[in-house]
Structure 1
Amino acid sequence: MLVRVVATGLCHTDLTVPTMLPQEMLPTVVGHEGTGVVERVGSAVAGIEVGDHVVMSFRSCRACEPCKAGDVGYCEQSLLLNYLGMRADGSTTMRRADGDGTVFGSFFGQSSLARHALAYADNCVVVDKALDLTRLAPFACGFQTGAGTVLNVLDPSPEEPIVVFGAGAVGLAAIAVARGAGLETVVAVDPVAARRALAEEYGAHAVDPADETADETAGPVEERVKALTGGGAAYAIDTTALAPVVLQAQRSLRPRGLLVALGLGAAEYTIDAIDLLQSGKIVRSSIEGEADPLVTIPELIALREAGRFDVDHLVTTYPFERIADAVADAKAGTVVKPVLVWGE
């Protein structure tokens, strides 16, 4: 499908992946949180029509064993379909205006940091035309990953406490959906005061990791989390990809607690083996919060409409011409979720 892009969320992955690519795969167009309007539809596409409004998420083949089991984030063709900058047959979808050299694209089956994107039925979710596409862009990845981790991986009962390390877009989405689901105790750990304040607006307890000596209640992060959760969190989510923080998250758990590491960046993590072996704790990762975009995105939109997933205020919009400002603000932590908006 040819999609006219209306808005594109700017995700940490968009900033990280290009720095990891070999030189021969540059230049490349990233962007994987696109929303837009379908302008043309291929002959093999069913269920999506010209004029439909869509959220574009990650691709999967829908035919391998993981896909048939519903685990589309672990598709056997995921690397080829999402990261290698070309179609499955090796052809590319973009070219320079002067024709001089290859431009790689097809990032997450969309490369939506562009006015138009070529997308597919397996990664497009049709949404109500009355909905604001600028607010839905982060549902494609960031919000989906945070909320999906709570709903699909943890599935906690209301009395089980959760601690979230990193109150950015992914972390706050996890906090929002957890509180919307009625969880009684949610703790947010973040060094940025404004983000801790946002977590507190959801009813979460906020911990400043830098503040270990302020008063008699201060101390190591893991001890403060344990005090707030009655002996340790049942579940921890790390969104920071910082090795020392992941270690804090592990140590913040109660016996048999579960840590899900979501961040992309660190090549290695240090695990406290004694703590792990003596407590039955589990440390694991998750791709996109175990979400199937065709299922999870409509579910999250329904929760949003019901007032149980309040995330609109986390979005800050920028005209696409201000992409440099959006990147700078994202890196500085002055905004939670920058979304680039394309003009007509």
Structure 2
Amino acid sequence: MHIRAAVARDGNPALSLEDLELGPLRPNDVLVRIVATGVCHTDLKSASALSPVPRPVVLGHEGAGVVEQVGSAVRKLVPGDHVVLTFAFCGQCRSCQEAEPAYCYHQWPLNFGCRRPDGTTPLRAEAVENPGPVHGDFFGQSAFATHAIAEERNAIKVRRDAPLELLGPLGCGIQTGAGAVLNDFALRPGQSLAVFGTGSLGLSAIMAARLSGASRIIAVDRHRHRLELARELGADEAIDVNDTPATAEIMRLTGEGVDFALDTTGVLPVMREAIDVLAPRGTCGFVTGPWDRRELPVPVHQLLLGRKIRGIVEGNSNPDLFIPRLVDFFLQGRFPFDRLVSFYPFDAINQAFHDVEAGTAIKPILRMP
């Protein structure tokens, strides 16, 4: 079928809107008409010249839409269902079998390989100037498009009374921040949290911590408008690192450090600060890291007092359970992630990318025509 998609090609820093052909469904596939797609920092990194993601490629991994067709083996979805598309996982490895799909043994090739396990892609360009296959299946969806093919297991059914155009970011960014607090840290009432970086992940973590009854939530960033929003969403203190060293201020505020620290920046000096502000037995979580794989010096002596470091992927989420739970929290007025959102028309995708990079937009969502 004919679709419209945003394509990243070699030598072109901007995405180009192109008409593509989307191939037929396999037995476990679902065809989704995309209503709206969130823009994530992972999309920006994957579109950059330094990315290992193959080109040409259709990115996008926070899609939400309506099921139009299902493969012959699909059982949990039917045409007309509202779905949020999330990360791909194999369903067969030890992690998947133990209901830990975020830590699928094949997480990297399934989400960043941009081809099916048999090496094929469902997308093809027919234009005279750029004919040939286009890599798809980014995070099992390639949702910067009017239609996408996902597998049944990474298409999550959501309730129909929820605003579908808002829900796409629950499939990655918001799920990651909230899940770090609710699933991985399992933060309890009375515990404390410091969040380094108040983009969509960090602000989602702050909302989740307030939902969990945290006694003290500290937000750290260099963007004043984000820190103001962090306070409105539940942060007790907001540290502007343009004016105040974060480590010294957190230790001054807490005396002994925090129970949990979450770094969302992937910047090595900031990641080290997140370790340094832990109280004894505290836990530091990292949700990203430098794409050039630079290493972080770890203060081993400091860890001996029961301090822990955890890598967290996709908020340690089981999406079939966690995404509907977040939707319920939102509709109850307890998780107002709509406060993070700015809407853009699909043809303004490059402006949305620019605004994310500049820090002027927290969570852009592209509305499909």
Give TM class, smaller chain. over 0.9
| 1:1-344 alignment runs, 5 A limit | 1-19=30-48, 20-22=50-52, 25-98=54-127, 100-204=131-235, 205-212=237-244, 220-266=245-291, 267-273=293-299, 275-343=301-369
Once residues 171 and 284 of structure 2 are traced to their aligned partners in structure 1, the CA distance between those partners, rounded to angstroms, is: 23
Q: Is the CA contact 2:208–2:335 (under 8 Å) kept in the aligned structure 1?
A: yes
CA 1:283 to 1:271, structure 2 compared with 1: closer, same or farther past 3 Å?
farther
SS in structure 2 at match of 1:313: helix
Could you give the per-residue CA deviations for residues 96-132 of structure 1, whole angstroms, max 9, x where no partner exists?
1237232101011100001110011100111122221
Unaligned runs of 5+ in 1: 213-219
How many residues align? The count is 335
Taking the aligned partners of 1:189 and 1:150, their CA distance within structure 2 comes to: 16
Following superposition, the deviation at residue 279 of structure 1 comes to: 3.3
Q: Secondary structure at the match of 2:335?
A: coil
Query: 2:4 maps to what in 1?
Result: none
Structure 1 residue 202, shift from structure 2 partner: 2.1
Instruction: Give structure 2 stretches of 5+ with no counterpart.
Output: 1-29
**Relative to structure 2, which stretch is displaced further, 177-186 or 97-106?**
97-106
Amino acid at match of 1:234: D
The residue number in structure 1 matching 2:16 is none
Contact 2:187 2:212 in 1 (8 A): no
The farther-off stretch of 274-283 and 39-48 is 274-283
Letter in 2 for 1:260: G
Can you list the C-alpha shifts for 1:14-67, whole angstroms capped at 9, x where unaligned? Answer: 1112334458x2111110000011111111101211111110001112122110
Letter in 2 for 1:86: R
TM-score, normalised with respect to structure 2: 0.87
Q: Displacement of 1:275 after TM fit?
A: 4.9
AA at the equivalent of 1:223: A
> Cα distance, 1:303 vs. partner?
1.4
Change (3 A) 1:43 1:138: same
Q: Secondary structure at the match of 1:173?
A: helix
Whose strand proportion is higher, 1 or 2? 2
TM-score by length of 1: 0.93
Q: Which moved more, 1:6-15 or 1:272-281?
A: 272-281
CA RMSD of aligned residues (A): 1.6
SS in 2 for 1:234: strand
Contact persistence 2:267–2:289 (CA under 8 A)? no
1:281 deviates by 1.8
SS for the counterpart of 1:3 is strand
Q: In the alignment, is the contact (CA less than 8 A) between 1:34 and 1:112 conserved in 2?
A: yes
- Paired residue type of 1:164: V
Mapped partners of 2:139, 2:229: distance in 1? 30
Distance 1:135 1:252 in 2: 35
In the alignment, the residues of structure 2 paired with residue 122 and residue 274 of structure 1 have an alpha-carbon distance, to the nearest angstrom, of 40
Preserved contact between residue 276 and residue 282 of structure 1 (Cα < 8 Å)? no
Per-residue deviation, 1:277: 4.1
CA contact 1:2–1:41 (8 Å) conserved in 2: yes
3-state DSSP class of the match of 1:31? coil
Cα distance in 2 between the residues matched to 1:319 and 1:63:
38
Distance 2:131 2:145 in 1: 19
Amino acid at match of 1:226: M
Closer, same or farther in 2 for the Cα pair 1:22/1:161, shift >3 Å?
closer
* Pair 1:270–1:84, CA change in 2 (3 A): closer
Kindly state the Cα deviation for residue 278 of structure 1 after the two structures are TM-superposed. Answer: 4.7
Aligned to 1:217: none
The CA deviation at 1:172 is 0.2
Report the alpha carbon displacement of residue 324 of structure 1 after superposing the two structures with TM.
1.3
Deviation at 1:139, TM superposition (A): 0.3
Q: Is the 8 A contact 1:226 1:253 kept in 2?
A: no
